[in-house]
Structure 1
Amino acid sequence: MTEKLFWIFIATFLVAVASFTVYEDNFDDDTYDVDDNNNNGERQGKILFPFVSIVRFANVDCASTNTMNGTCLARRECNNLNGTITGNCAARRGRCCIVSRACGTATNVNNTYFTSPGYPAAYAGGQACSIIVNRCNNNICQLRIDLLDMVLAQPNGDGVCATDALTITGGNTIVPILCGDNTGQTLFVDFNGNAAITISVTATLATTFTRRWNIRLTQLGCDCPGLAPNGCLQYYTGVMGTIRSFNYGTAANTALSASLVTGTRQLANLNYGICIRMEAGFCAIQYSQAANDVFSFTVTGDVEGADNTVLGTAVGAVNGAACTTDFVVIPNPIVVGTNLGAGTDRFCGLGFVPVQSGAKPFVLYVVTDANEGATAITPPDIANRGFSLAYTQIAC
């Protein structure tokens, strides 16, 4: 009998050690009380042994000690992903794990960061740098691409990305080639079944420039409320906000166009849709130039030749049939304060008259060509910046 009790004790001890080892893999830290009445949507632990409970929790976003957001994971999970632990989460049950990838890598991890070599230090360029993004699971439909910090060389004077370029391929969404300063821009790209999406940055070594990038890649489930509607390369939410064209900025491009005049910051060969979610209780939307910025709608025309009575005013606004090269389309617009239709949905020129639209869904379209020179009916485009439009939704 004594020998039997001895072996029972040994077996019990071994089970306890094994259970504690599994426990350590899923939770590692300090002391805290397990809350059996969890009200935070966290999964409850499983009892492997009378003395030990494995703690489970939701793998949600978490705030880290730096500017990046992480995912709440167990320490072992984070280590297996080659992630970096930056703090605690889930009431200290988990670790805030940041997964960052560099050139020539692949990922199927949600909330992955893709950074330039040596980030945040400047990258000299010289090689094509890419990341391949595979779906986390079969319920993923879309990739949200947040350009948290995206500074590449400016386009040439005709708006073509000839020095540096950001290209996004493999998805079911056509994405234009981007360059210049696009910090703060967000793109939504549909996955094409199980095909991977490739994000590539080409940077020319011959051009010395303080280029850098930090891109957050968030995979959105097919039932996610934040999913952008089909056909929307960009998707804004909220009652008010500001919509900027790619590479918009108040400083002029230093490169000359083919016409040997100051070139454009506005990127060439654009044709994409921007959508704004209609918030509850709102039935129309108003667009106007960004406040205190005379360059906030300089889409066509000669910026350098316009004085303050034209630049950024209704005098500089052009619309309708005169907009043939670079323009913004707003469906069924009404001129603010007149209750009269604008008579056209195309807008270009050096100024913008505020308009409202009740057309659903809320959407505008951006079209540019690759010719900044004079046409049969228009003068050459000089020092265009693009647009920065403020929007405000109007209550029903």
Structure 2
Amino acid sequence: MFSFPGLVFLETTSGESDEVATLVFNFLGNGLRRWDIKVTQFLCTNANRPPQGCLQFYTGLQGRITSFNFAPTTGSIHLANQMYSVCLSRREGYCCVEFEVCRDVEDAFSLHMNGLIKISSTDNGCTEDYIQIEESSNMCLGNEKVFSNRYCGGTFNALQGLAVNSLVCDCTPPFILDIFTDGGQSSTLNLRNRGLCLDFRRRKCPLS
């Protein structure tokens, strides 16, 4: 089962009216698969056009981000060999974006799990499957002293080696969440690696 949350954007190269975009699907094994795909074309000058390189783009004050193939029920495994960006637009009056694991979803964050141990891992501890939120921390517009860039493991936290999830805040636009996965999806240790389900909400700028 593939879950493609939000909007997925594909850029054409020239923008000519007769240019053709082709979607190709390759699958192994048998099974019934269905799609309901809505296609919308944007002018190159459209204000809602996402920044270049953003495969998913969110403009709301809050929302939910899930990695590809993240199913509502446990048992799904994130896709291998992924490298793409999830982008959030800038909104006037809002200076930060808070991320937290989806509270209504079991195992909402599991990337490069070390067996069954659910602890957080950051930066140098994340070399295979991870997300990247540059210069983020557990605080918004406070006295942040510890910043992290990469997140993996079984717990979402800007501090290393913890077993409790925490808010992670990004106050350094552009607001981009990068997703990286390697090709190692066949080992036993990877069977619990579902990917991620994160809820986000924007934080207003402090009054001057």
Q: TM-score, normalised by structure 1?
A: 0.45
- How many Å separate the matches in 1 of 2:195 and 2:173? 25
1:369 aligns with 2:190: no
SS of the residue aligned with 2:124? helix
Contact 1:248 1:388 in 2 (8 A): yes
Counting aligned pairs with the same residue, the percent is 27
- How many Å separate the matches in 2 of 1:269 and 1:245? 13
SS of the residue aligned with 1:340? coil
Contact 1:332 1:341 in 2 (8 A): no
- How many Å separate the matches in 2 of 1:239 and 1:233? 19
Contact 1:296 1:387 in 2 (8 A): yes
Offset, 1:203: 4.7
What are the superposed Cα offsets for residues 42-62 of structure 1, whole Å, 9 maximum, x if unpaired? xxxxxxxxxxxxxxxxxxxxx
What are the superposed Cα offsets for residues 17-66 of structure 1, whole Å, 9 maximum, x if unpaired? xxxxxxxxxxxxxxxxxxxxxxxxxxxxxxxxxxxxxxxxxxxxxxxxxx
Compared CA separation, residues 355 and 203, structure 1 to 2 (3 A): closer
- How many Å separate the matches in 2 of 1:351 and 1:197? 39
Tell which has more relative contact order, 1 or 2 (C-alpha 8 A, sep 6+): 2
The CA RMSD over aligned residues, in Å, is 2.2
Unaligned segments of structure 1, at least 5 residues: 1-179, 254-264, 311-315
Match of 2:125 in 1: 322
Contact 1:235 1:276 in 2 (8 A): yes
Match of 2:148 in 1: 344
Range with greater deviation from structure 2 (213-222 or 191-200): 191-200
1:334 aligns with 2:157: no
Offset, 1:275: 0.6
Match of 2:22 in 1: 198
SS of the residue aligned with 1:186? coil
Instruction: Give, as a single letter, the amino acid of the residue that structure 2 aligns with 1:182.
Output: S
Higher CA-based Rg: 1
- How many Å separate the matches in 2 of 1:342 and 1:365? 20
What are the superposed Cα offsets for residues 178-229 of structure 1, whole Å, 9 maximum, x if unpaired? xx3225442111111134211123455x51x231111111110122222111
- How many Å separate the matches in 1 of 2:127 and 2:44? 38
Match of 1:252 in 2: 75
Match of 2:161 in 1: none
Q: Which has the higher strand share?
A: 1
SS of the residue aligned with 1:331? strand
Instruction: Give, as a single letter, the amino acid of the residue that structure 1 aligns with 2:33.
Output: R
Contact 2:5 2:68 in 1 (8 A): no
1:287 aligns with 2:111: no
- How many Å separate the matches in 2 of 1:343 and 1:317? 14
Offset, 1:373: 6.8
- How many Å separate the matches in 1 of 2:42 and 2:109? 33
Contact 1:333 1:355 in 2 (8 A): yes
Offset, 1:302: 4.8
Compared CA separation, residues 320 and 202, structure 1 to 2 (3 A): closer
- How many Å separate the matches in 2 of 1:318 and 1:198? 38
SS of the residue aligned with 1:382? helix
- How many Å separate the matches in 2 of 1:211 and 1:188? 22
1:241 aligns with 2:63: yes
Instruction: Give, as a single letter, the amino acid of the residue that structure 1 aligns with 2:174.
Output: P
- How many Å separate the matches in 2 of 1:246 and 1:226? 23
Match of 1:277 in 2: 89
Map 1:1-396 → 2, pairs under 5 A: 180-193=1-14, 194=16, 195-203=19-27, 207=30, 209-249=31-71, 250-253=73-76, 265-302=77-114, 305-306=116-117, 310=118, 316-336=119-139, 339-353=143-157, 354-372=167-185, 380-396=189-205
Tell me the number of residue pairs that the alignment of Structure 1 and Structure 2 aligns: 191
Offset, 1:363: 0.8
List structure 1 segments (4+ residues) > 4 angstroms apart after TM superposition: none
- How many Å separate the matches in 2 of 1:372 and 1:359? 33
- How many Å separate the matches in 2 of 1:370 and 1:202? 16
